[in-house]
């Protein structure tokens, strides 16, 4: 059954526009409370990122949960993966994250974690949506839920992150620029990296409720690139507003994306004899990563775009490592969800182990040029069902051979067909991408 509100990663939108409104969050808190009240006694954790609307939605959720008779523990600003960890370690019935991740401040949203620190099962999301359609009621006054603050949440999570690498590793002498995107890692990431011995230069650690992800963080690493060069740092670490994405910058100021970081971690695990199962990427993962992993005798499987689908495939194939080029990296041998800080620590540990710079580690993989062209269509269509389009794709694939690939997929949110071509030669890849895009447009309008 299709969900009305929940997407692949919770609920997200513009603040003040349905469903991202205080009255909806009040009802959502109550509906969530009703579902977890049926599961037994306990409490629900609520955390948020640093955007200004978080205060409003936190209060609304707390009121709704209380009306349903469920106790709440408030974490304040905390990274999404930190809330997943605390949900598990504090034995909460569920964890709720108020965040719109890498989006600007005027957006917000909500994600849920189960008591195991993983995404909620579809069955529970359907139950929550069922109660959202019911009239809201309030339990008797003596049954109302209570709320309290968790005072040591940040410290607990900092120690958890540090424990993801051997205690014997000391990063003394390593100079690191850390960009927290003025988001929920601002009071956590600098402590983690300095407490494992690195010299830390902070940027993006002054949130004001409006500057989250603004010209900083994993989606806009230009400021970090400049800072790495200016301070002659060994590398830079960029997180997004809720801390589940990681992009790094080497000492030359060059961006190291999620695909390159996944390769570095995968090779490290393989060399140490600790890699279990295949690496899981997505349909958009760079072909260069696939070829580099193959040289290390590591298989790559591709999931649909979205960390939910990556996680599903990881579990189906007993994999411990997966992620996306955008920087969502999941190390299941260390934690339960995508975690930017923990992924960065794994890369630093490999630098320490091998004595190589980040630049040297990423150079063991050659990224292939990848060109994406969006074709706007009047209605949603499946390009794989069109014979003319498929013939055009096959011709380009024949020209590219084993050193390239073509991907056509319909957008899940807009009337677009995304045409992606990847190969060794930038000029040819660009030419093929635009040629295919024109053929797709003509075939659909014919």
Contact (CB, 8 A) for 429 and 369: yes
| Nearest CA-CA partner of 286 in 323, 312, 325 | 325
For residue 171 the two structure tokens come to 């990063």
Contacts of 75 (CB under 8 A, 6+ apart): 45, 46, 47, 48, 82, 83, 86, 150, 153
How distant, in Å, are the alpha carbons of 235, 284, 293, 321 from that of 318? 32, 21, 18, 9
Three-state SS at 244: coil
Active site residue 101: yes
Give the Cα separation of 334 and 84 in Å (integer). 13
Helix (H, G, I), strand (E, B) or coil at 310: helix
Distance of CA 337 to the CA centre of its chain: 9
Q: Are strands 107-114 and 404-410 parallel, antiparallel or unpaired?
A: unpaired
DSSP 8-state symbol, 121: P
- Active-site hit among 53, 101, 164, 285: 101
Task: Say how far apart CA 255 and CA 238 lie, in whole Å.
Answer: 10
Determine contact, residues 169/355, Cβ cutoff 8 Å.
no
Determine contact, residues 322/344, Cβ cutoff 8 Å.
no
The residues assigned a catalytic role are 101
């Amino acid at each position: 059954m299709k969900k009305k509100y929940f997407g692949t990663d919770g609920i997200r939108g513009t603040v003040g526009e349905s469903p991202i409104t205080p009255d909806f969050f009040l009802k959502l808190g109550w509906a969530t409370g009703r579902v977890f009240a049926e599961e037994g006694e306990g409490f629900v954790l609520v955390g948020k990122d640093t955007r200004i609307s978080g205060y409003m939605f936190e209060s609304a959720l707390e009121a709704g949960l209380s009306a349903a008779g469920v106790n709440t523990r408030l974490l304040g600003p905390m990274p999404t993966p930190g809330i997943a960890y605390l949900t598990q370690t504090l034995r909460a019935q569920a964890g709720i994250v108020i965040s719109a991740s890498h989006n600007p401040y005027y957006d917000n949203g909500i994600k849920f974690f189960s008591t195991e620190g993983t995404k909620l099962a579809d069955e529970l999301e359907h139950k929550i949506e069922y109660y959202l359609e019911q009239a809201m009621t309030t339990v008797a006054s003596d049954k109302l839920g209570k709320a309290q603050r968790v005072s040591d949440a940040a410290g607990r999570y900092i120690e958890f992150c540090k424990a993801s690498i051997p205690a014997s590793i000391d990063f003394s002498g390593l100079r690191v620029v850390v960009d927290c995107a003025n988001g929920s890692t601002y009071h956590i990431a600098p402590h983690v990296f300095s407490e494992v011995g690195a010299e830390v230069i902070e940027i993006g650690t002054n949130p004001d409720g409006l500057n989250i992800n603004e010209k900083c963080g994993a989606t806009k690493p230009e400021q970090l690139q400049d800072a790495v060069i200016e301070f002659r740092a060994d590398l830079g670490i960029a997180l997004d507003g809720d801390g589940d994405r990681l992009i790094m910058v080497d000492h030359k100021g060059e961006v190291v994306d999620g695909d390159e970081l996944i390769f570095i971690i995968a090779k490290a695990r393989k060399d140490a004899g600790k890699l279990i199962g295949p690496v899981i990427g997505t349909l958009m993962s760079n072909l260069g990563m696939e070829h580099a992993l193959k040289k290390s005798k590591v298989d790559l499987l591709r999931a649909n775009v979205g960390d939910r689908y990556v996680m599903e495939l990881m579990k189906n194939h007993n994999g411990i490592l997966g992620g996306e080029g955008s920087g969502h990296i999941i190390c299941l041998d260390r934690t339960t969800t995508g975690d930017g800080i923990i992924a960065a620590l794994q890369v630093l540990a490999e630098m320490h182990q091998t004595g190589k710079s980040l630049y040297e580690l990423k150079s063991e993989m050659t990224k292939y040029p990848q060109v994406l062209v969006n074709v706007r269509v009047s209605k949603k269509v499946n390009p794989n069902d069109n014979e003319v389009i498929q013939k055009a794709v096959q011709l380009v694939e024949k020209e590219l051979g084993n050193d390239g690939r073509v991907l056509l997929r319909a957008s899940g949110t807009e009337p677009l067909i995304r045409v992606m071509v990847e190969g060794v030669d930038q000029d040819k890849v660009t030419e093929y991408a635009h040629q295919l895009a024109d053929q797709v447009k003509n075939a659909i309008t014919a």
